Protein backbone atom coordinates (compact mmCIF):
# COMPACT_ATOMS: atom_id res chain seq x y z
CA UNK A 1 0.00 0.00 0.00
CA UNK A 2 1.17 3.51 -0.77
CA UNK A 3 1.66 6.05 2.03
CA UNK A 4 -1.07 8.69 2.32
CA UNK A 5 -1.03 12.24 3.71
CA UNK A 6 -4.09 13.70 5.35
CA UNK A 7 -4.76 17.35 6.18
CA UNK A 8 -7.30 18.58 8.70
CA UNK A 9 -9.55 21.61 8.25
CA UNK A 10 -10.71 22.64 11.73
CA UNK A 11 -8.12 21.53 14.29
CA UNK A 12 -10.35 21.84 17.37
CA UNK A 13 -11.09 19.16 19.94
CA UNK A 14 -12.15 16.49 17.47
CA UNK A 15 -9.68 17.45 14.74
CA UNK A 16 -6.94 16.87 17.28
CA UNK A 17 -8.48 13.52 18.24
CA UNK A 18 -7.96 12.44 14.60
CA UNK A 19 -4.37 13.74 14.68
CA UNK A 20 -3.62 11.71 17.81
CA UNK A 21 -5.33 8.59 16.49
CA UNK A 22 -3.58 8.67 13.13
CA UNK A 23 -0.10 9.83 14.15
CA UNK A 24 0.22 8.45 17.65
CA UNK A 25 -2.54 5.86 18.23
CA UNK A 26 -5.75 6.54 20.09
CA UNK A 27 -6.63 6.44 23.76
CA UNK A 28 -9.30 4.56 25.64
CA UNK A 29 -10.00 5.03 29.35
CA UNK A 30 -6.68 6.86 29.75
CA UNK A 31 -4.75 3.98 28.11
CA UNK A 32 -3.06 4.29 24.72
CA UNK A 33 -4.24 1.80 22.06
CA UNK A 34 -1.65 -0.88 21.41
CA UNK A 35 0.26 -0.59 18.16
CA UNK A 36 0.37 3.20 17.88
CA UNK A 37 -0.87 5.20 14.89
CA UNK A 38 -2.31 4.07 11.57
CA UNK A 39 -0.01 2.34 9.10
CA UNK A 40 0.44 4.14 5.73
CA UNK A 41 -1.38 7.25 6.94
CA UNK A 42 0.00 10.49 8.36
CA UNK A 43 -1.61 13.79 9.34
CA UNK A 44 0.76 16.15 7.57
CA UNK A 45 -0.96 19.51 7.93
CA UNK A 46 -3.91 21.51 9.11
CA UNK A 47 -5.73 24.79 8.69
CA UNK A 48 -7.80 26.47 11.39
CA UNK A 49 -9.11 30.03 11.50
CA UNK A 50 -7.92 30.42 15.10
CA UNK A 51 -4.33 31.56 15.49
CA UNK A 52 -3.82 29.48 18.63
CA UNK A 53 -4.89 26.32 16.80
CA UNK A 54 -2.41 27.15 14.00
CA UNK A 55 0.28 27.41 16.68
CA UNK A 56 -0.96 24.14 18.17
CA UNK A 57 -0.59 22.49 14.74
CA UNK A 58 3.03 23.67 14.44
CA UNK A 59 3.82 22.60 18.00
CA UNK A 60 2.67 19.09 17.06
CA UNK A 61 4.81 18.84 13.94
CA UNK A 62 2.09 19.65 11.39
CA UNK A 63 2.39 22.09 8.53
CA UNK A 64 0.02 24.97 9.35
CA UNK A 65 -1.40 26.18 6.04
CA UNK A 66 -2.22 29.89 5.75
CA UNK A 67 -5.59 29.21 4.12
CA UNK A 68 -7.87 26.41 3.08
CA UNK A 69 -6.99 27.20 -0.55
CA UNK A 70 -3.30 26.69 0.18
CA UNK A 71 -4.07 23.36 1.85
CA UNK A 72 -6.21 22.18 -1.05
CA UNK A 73 -3.57 23.22 -3.59
CA UNK A 74 -0.88 21.07 -1.94
CA UNK A 75 -0.32 18.04 -4.20
CA UNK A 76 1.16 16.06 -1.27
CA UNK A 77 -2.27 15.91 0.41
CA UNK A 78 -4.37 12.88 -0.59
CA UNK A 79 -7.18 13.05 1.98
CA UNK A 80 -8.89 16.03 3.62
CA UNK A 81 -10.73 15.68 6.92
CA UNK A 82 -13.29 18.41 7.68
CA UNK A 83 -13.77 18.81 11.43
CA UNK A 84 -15.26 22.29 11.68
CA UNK A 85 -18.66 23.23 13.14
CA UNK A 86 -21.41 21.34 11.33
CA UNK A 87 -22.63 24.08 8.96
CA UNK A 88 -19.21 24.23 7.26
CA UNK A 89 -18.91 20.54 6.39
CA UNK A 90 -20.82 20.84 3.12
CA UNK A 91 -18.97 23.78 1.51
CA UNK A 92 -15.54 22.55 2.63
CA UNK A 93 -16.09 18.92 1.58
CA UNK A 94 -17.31 20.05 -1.84
CA UNK A 95 -14.23 22.29 -2.23
CA UNK A 96 -11.94 19.42 -1.21
CA UNK A 97 -13.55 17.05 -3.72
CA UNK A 98 -13.37 19.68 -6.47
CA UNK A 99 -9.67 20.07 -5.69
CA UNK A 100 -9.26 16.34 -6.41
CA UNK A 101 -8.89 15.20 -2.80
CA UNK A 102 -10.52 12.24 -1.09
CA UNK A 103 -12.70 13.60 1.69
CA UNK A 104 -13.81 12.58 5.17
CA UNK A 105 -16.46 14.63 6.96
CA UNK A 106 -17.02 14.66 10.67
CA UNK A 107 -20.57 13.88 11.70
CA UNK A 108 -23.25 15.08 11.16
CA UNK A 109 -22.32 15.08 7.49
CA UNK A 110 -24.47 18.18 6.97
CA UNK A 111 -27.82 19.68 7.97
CA UNK A 112 -30.29 18.26 5.42
CA UNK A 113 -30.70 15.44 2.92
CA UNK A 114 -30.72 17.91 0.00
CA UNK A 115 -27.35 19.30 1.14
CA UNK A 116 -26.02 15.76 1.44
CA UNK A 117 -27.19 14.99 -2.09
CA UNK A 118 -25.08 17.92 -3.37
CA UNK A 119 -22.06 16.49 -1.55
CA UNK A 120 -22.67 13.02 -2.99
CA UNK A 121 -23.03 14.50 -6.49
CA UNK A 122 -19.72 16.35 -6.02
CA UNK A 123 -17.96 13.13 -5.00
CA UNK A 124 -19.35 11.27 -8.01
CA UNK A 125 -18.28 14.09 -10.33
CA UNK A 126 -14.79 14.16 -8.82
CA UNK A 127 -14.51 10.35 -8.78
CA UNK A 128 -13.01 10.57 -5.29
CA UNK A 129 -13.73 8.68 -2.08
CA UNK A 130 -16.04 10.52 0.30
CA UNK A 131 -17.23 9.16 3.63
CA UNK A 132 -18.34 10.25 7.08
CA UNK A 133 -16.78 9.59 10.45
CA UNK A 134 -19.61 7.56 11.99
CA UNK A 135 -17.08 6.29 14.49
CA UNK A 136 -19.59 4.97 17.00
CA UNK A 137 -20.24 1.99 14.76
CA UNK A 138 -16.97 0.77 16.33
CA UNK A 139 -18.14 1.36 19.94
CA UNK A 140 -17.89 -1.84 21.95
CA UNK A 141 -21.16 -1.16 23.84
CA UNK A 142 -23.02 -0.97 20.50
CA UNK A 143 -21.22 -4.04 19.14
CA UNK A 144 -22.15 -5.94 22.32
CA UNK A 145 -25.81 -5.00 21.83
CA UNK A 146 -25.52 -6.17 18.22
CA UNK A 147 -23.98 -9.49 19.27
CA UNK A 148 -26.81 -10.10 21.73
CA UNK A 149 -29.26 -9.40 18.90
CA UNK A 150 -27.41 -11.29 16.14
CA UNK A 151 -26.73 -14.39 18.28
CA UNK A 152 -30.34 -14.40 19.49
CA UNK A 153 -29.22 -14.58 23.14
CA UNK A 154 -32.56 -13.35 24.53
CA UNK A 155 -35.07 -14.96 22.14
CA UNK A 156 -37.21 -12.68 20.01
CA UNK A 157 -36.32 -9.10 20.86
CA UNK A 158 -39.28 -6.77 21.15
CA UNK A 159 -37.61 -3.64 22.50
CA UNK A 160 -34.20 -1.99 22.49
CA UNK A 161 -33.54 1.19 24.44
CA UNK A 162 -30.41 3.19 23.62
CA UNK A 163 -29.71 6.22 25.75
CA UNK A 164 -26.97 8.73 26.32
CA UNK A 165 -27.39 10.94 29.34
CA UNK A 166 -25.45 13.97 30.53
CA UNK A 167 -26.28 16.59 33.11
CA UNK A 168 -24.52 19.74 31.91
CA UNK A 169 -26.98 20.91 29.27
CA UNK A 170 -25.92 21.55 25.71
CA UNK A 171 -22.34 22.87 25.40
CA UNK A 172 -22.14 26.67 25.27
CA UNK A 173 -20.22 26.78 21.96
CA UNK A 174 -21.55 26.60 18.38
CA UNK A 175 -23.53 23.48 19.37
CA UNK A 176 -26.15 25.79 20.95
CA UNK A 177 -26.68 27.79 17.74
CA UNK A 178 -29.05 26.76 14.95
CA UNK A 179 -27.03 28.57 12.26
CA UNK A 180 -24.07 26.27 12.99
CA UNK A 181 -26.20 23.10 12.95
CA UNK A 182 -26.38 22.85 16.74
CA UNK A 183 -28.74 20.72 18.79
CA UNK A 184 -28.56 17.24 20.20
CA UNK A 185 -30.35 15.40 17.39
CA UNK A 186 -27.53 16.43 15.06
CA UNK A 187 -24.82 16.11 17.70
CA UNK A 188 -25.45 12.84 19.58
CA UNK A 189 -28.63 11.66 17.85
CA UNK A 190 -26.63 11.19 14.66
CA UNK A 191 -24.55 8.52 16.45
CA UNK A 192 -27.24 6.54 18.25
CA UNK A 193 -29.62 6.71 15.28
CA UNK A 194 -26.84 5.53 12.97
CA UNK A 195 -26.38 2.57 15.32
CA UNK A 196 -30.16 1.92 15.34
CA UNK A 197 -30.11 1.83 11.55
CA UNK A 198 -27.50 -0.94 11.56
CA UNK A 199 -30.04 -3.35 13.11
CA UNK A 200 -31.68 -5.39 10.35
CA UNK A 201 -35.03 -4.44 8.86
CA UNK A 202 -36.88 -1.40 7.70
CA UNK A 203 -38.25 1.23 10.06
CA UNK A 204 -41.93 1.75 9.38
CA UNK A 205 -42.79 4.48 11.89
CA UNK A 206 -41.02 7.28 13.76
CA UNK A 207 -42.52 9.09 16.73
CA UNK A 208 -40.40 11.75 18.42
CA UNK A 209 -40.28 14.69 20.77
CA UNK A 210 -37.51 17.20 21.44
CA UNK A 211 -36.52 18.85 24.72
CA UNK A 212 -35.58 22.49 25.24
CA UNK A 213 -34.77 22.43 28.97
CA UNK A 214 -31.55 24.45 28.93
CA UNK A 215 -31.64 26.06 25.50
CA UNK A 216 -34.56 27.64 23.67
CA UNK A 217 -32.84 27.83 20.27
CA UNK A 218 -31.94 24.22 19.55
CA UNK A 219 -33.01 20.90 21.06
CA UNK A 220 -30.95 19.82 24.07
CA UNK A 221 -32.28 16.27 23.93
CA UNK A 222 -34.91 14.07 22.33
CA UNK A 223 -36.88 10.85 22.47
CA UNK A 224 -37.48 8.90 19.26
CA UNK A 225 -39.44 5.68 19.06
CA UNK A 226 -38.65 3.73 15.90
CA UNK A 227 -40.95 0.84 14.98
CA UNK A 228 -39.33 -1.81 12.77
CA UNK A 229 -41.26 -3.86 10.23
CA UNK A 230 -41.05 -6.93 12.51
CA UNK A 231 -42.73 -4.98 15.33
CA UNK A 232 -39.55 -4.36 17.35
CA UNK A 233 -39.45 -0.91 18.93
CA UNK A 234 -36.17 0.95 19.31
CA UNK A 235 -36.16 3.89 21.72
CA UNK A 236 -33.34 6.36 21.04
CA UNK A 237 -32.93 8.98 23.73
CA UNK A 238 -30.47 11.80 24.34
CA UNK A 239 -30.72 13.79 27.57
CA UNK A 240 -28.54 16.58 28.89
CA UNK A 241 -30.39 17.21 32.19
CA UNK A 242 -30.12 13.70 33.62
CA UNK A 243 -28.46 13.86 37.04
CA UNK A 244 -29.14 10.14 37.43
CA UNK A 245 -28.18 8.22 34.31
CA UNK A 246 -30.20 5.34 32.96
CA UNK A 247 -28.27 2.42 31.44
CA UNK A 248 -26.72 3.00 28.02
CA UNK A 249 -28.66 0.01 26.59
CA UNK A 250 -31.61 -2.14 27.69
CA UNK A 251 -32.51 -5.04 25.43
CA UNK A 252 -35.71 -6.94 26.11
CA UNK A 253 -36.31 -10.37 24.60
CA UNK A 254 -38.94 -13.07 25.04
CA UNK A 255 -36.61 -15.13 27.25
CA UNK A 256 -34.35 -12.59 28.88
CA UNK A 257 -33.16 -9.02 29.32
CA UNK A 258 -29.75 -7.44 28.88
CA UNK A 259 -28.43 -4.28 30.44
CA UNK A 260 -25.30 -2.49 29.23
CA UNK A 261 -24.49 0.21 31.74
CA UNK A 262 -22.06 2.44 29.92
CA UNK A 263 -19.40 2.87 27.23
CA UNK A 264 -17.03 0.60 29.15
CA UNK A 265 -19.52 -2.26 28.64
CA UNK A 266 -20.32 -3.24 32.20
CA UNK A 267 -23.67 -4.95 32.62
CA UNK A 268 -25.42 -8.29 32.63
CA UNK A 269 -27.84 -10.64 30.97
CA UNK A 270 -30.64 -12.26 32.95
CA UNK A 271 -32.29 -15.22 31.24
CA UNK A 272 -35.17 -17.42 32.19
CA UNK A 273 -34.25 -21.09 32.64
CA UNK A 274 -37.78 -22.46 32.63
CA UNK A 275 -40.69 -20.34 31.47
CA UNK A 276 -43.26 -22.67 32.96
CA UNK A 277 -41.89 -22.42 36.47
CA UNK A 278 -43.35 -19.00 36.95
CA UNK A 279 -44.75 -19.18 40.41
CA UNK A 280 -43.76 -16.32 42.69
CA UNK A 281 -44.16 -15.16 46.22
CA UNK A 282 -46.51 -12.17 46.08
CA UNK A 283 -45.21 -8.82 47.25
CA UNK A 284 -47.28 -7.19 49.91
CA UNK A 285 -47.18 -3.42 49.72
CA UNK A 286 -48.86 -1.12 52.19
CA UNK A 287 -51.65 -0.53 49.73
CA UNK A 288 -52.05 -3.98 48.23
CA UNK A 289 -50.69 -7.27 46.92
CA UNK A 290 -49.04 -8.16 43.59
CA UNK A 291 -47.86 -11.44 42.14
CA UNK A 292 -47.45 -10.11 38.59
CA UNK A 293 -44.69 -7.71 39.61
CA UNK A 294 -43.01 -10.06 42.10
CA UNK A 295 -39.46 -11.14 41.12
CA UNK A 296 -38.91 -14.60 39.66
CA UNK A 297 -37.70 -17.21 42.10
CA UNK A 298 -33.89 -17.66 41.85
CA UNK A 299 -33.99 -21.20 40.40
CA UNK A 300 -35.92 -20.02 37.31
CA UNK A 301 -33.45 -17.36 36.20
CA UNK A 302 -29.74 -17.24 35.45
CA UNK A 303 -27.50 -14.19 35.48
CA UNK A 304 -24.73 -14.19 32.87
CA UNK A 305 -21.90 -11.92 31.81
CA UNK A 306 -22.27 -9.89 28.63
CA UNK A 307 -20.56 -11.39 25.58
CA UNK A 308 -17.13 -9.90 24.91
CA UNK A 309 -16.62 -7.95 21.72
CA UNK A 310 -13.41 -6.20 20.72
CA UNK A 311 -13.08 -3.52 18.09
CA UNK A 312 -10.44 -1.14 16.80
CA UNK A 313 -11.49 2.34 15.69
CA UNK A 314 -8.38 2.55 13.48
CA UNK A 315 -10.29 0.21 11.12
CA UNK A 316 -12.30 3.25 10.00
CA UNK A 317 -9.24 4.81 8.33
CA UNK A 318 -7.82 1.43 7.24
CA UNK A 319 -11.06 0.99 5.29
CA UNK A 320 -10.79 4.49 3.78
CA UNK A 321 -7.27 3.71 2.50
CA UNK A 322 -8.26 0.28 1.18
CA UNK A 323 -11.24 1.88 -0.60
CA UNK A 324 -8.98 4.49 -2.24
CA UNK A 325 -6.83 1.59 -3.48
CA UNK A 326 -9.92 -0.26 -4.81
CA UNK A 327 -9.35 -3.22 -2.46
CA UNK A 328 -12.45 -2.69 -0.29
CA UNK A 329 -15.69 -0.76 -0.41
CA UNK A 330 -16.62 1.86 2.17
CA UNK A 331 -17.87 0.64 5.54
CA UNK A 332 -19.70 3.91 6.12
CA UNK A 333 -21.56 4.07 2.82
CA UNK A 334 -23.16 7.26 1.57
CA UNK A 335 -26.49 5.42 1.32
CA UNK A 336 -26.34 4.67 5.06
CA UNK A 337 -25.51 8.31 5.82
CA UNK A 338 -28.42 9.48 3.66
CA UNK A 339 -30.77 7.07 5.45
CA UNK A 340 -29.70 8.54 8.78
CA UNK A 341 -30.14 12.12 7.52
CA UNK A 342 -33.68 11.24 6.39
CA UNK A 343 -34.39 9.63 9.76
CA UNK A 344 -33.31 12.80 11.57
CA UNK A 345 -35.58 14.80 9.26
CA UNK A 346 -38.48 12.48 10.12
CA UNK A 347 -37.71 13.01 13.82
CA UNK A 348 -37.88 16.80 13.40
CA UNK A 349 -41.15 16.48 11.47
CA UNK A 350 -42.74 14.19 14.07
CA UNK A 351 -41.62 16.43 16.94
CA UNK A 352 -43.15 19.43 15.18
CA UNK A 353 -46.47 17.80 14.34
CA UNK A 354 -46.74 15.73 17.52
CA UNK A 355 -47.70 12.79 15.31
CA UNK A 356 -45.96 9.62 14.15
CA UNK A 357 -44.28 9.81 10.74
CA UNK A 358 -44.22 6.90 8.37
CA UNK A 359 -40.70 6.02 7.21
CA UNK A 360 -39.35 3.52 4.67
Residues that bind ligand NAD (CB under 6 A): 9-15, 47-50, 53, 83-86, 88, 106-107, 133, 135, 173, 187
Query: To the nearest whole angstrom, how small is the minimum distance from the Cβ of residue 266 to ligand NAD?
Result: 21
Query: To the nearest whole angstrom, how small is the minimum distance from the Cβ of residue 308 to ligand NAD?
Result: 23
- The number of angstroms, rounded, from the C-alpha of 123 to the middle of its chain's C-alpha atoms is 23
Element (H, E) at 237: strand 233-239
| Cβ–Cβ < 8 Å for 192, 236 | yes
Nearer to ligand NAD, 13 or 288 (CB): 13
Report the residue closest to ligand NAD, judged by CB: 12
Closest CA to 109 of 71, 79, 81, 73: 81
108 upstream amide cis, omega within 30 of 0: yes
| Cβ–Cβ < 8 Å for 306, 260 | yes
Nearer to ligand NAD, 72 or 224 (CB): 72
| Cβ–Cβ < 8 Å for 246, 163 | yes
> How far apart (Å, rounded) are the C-alpha atoms in residues 315 and 84?
23
Nearer to ligand NAD, 86 or 195 (CB): 86
Query: To the nearest whole angstrom, how small is the minimum distance from the Cβ of residue 54 to ligand NAD?
Result: 9
> How far apart (Å, rounded) are the C-alpha atoms in residues 131 and 323?
10
Query: To the nearest whole angstrom, how small is the minimum distance from the Cβ of residue 8 to ligand NAD?
Result: 9
Q: What is the dihedral of CA 257, 259, 265, 271, to 10 degrees?
A: -30
Nearer to ligand NAD, 135 or 211 (CB): 135
Query: To the nearest whole angstrom, how small is the minimum distance from the Cβ of residue 198 to ligand NAD?
Result: 16
Nearer to ligand NAD, 87 or 261 (CB): 87
Amino acid sequence: MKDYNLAIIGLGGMGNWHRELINEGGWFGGVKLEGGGIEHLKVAGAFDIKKERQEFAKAHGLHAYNSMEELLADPKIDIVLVSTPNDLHKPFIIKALEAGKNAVSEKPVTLSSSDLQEMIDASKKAGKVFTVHQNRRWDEDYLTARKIYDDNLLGDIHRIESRVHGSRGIPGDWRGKPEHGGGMVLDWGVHILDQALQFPGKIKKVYASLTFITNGLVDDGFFAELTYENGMVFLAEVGTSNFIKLPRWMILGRNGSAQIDDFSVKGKIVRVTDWNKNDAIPIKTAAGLTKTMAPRTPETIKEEALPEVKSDIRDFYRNVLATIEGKETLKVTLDSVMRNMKLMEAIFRSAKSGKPESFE
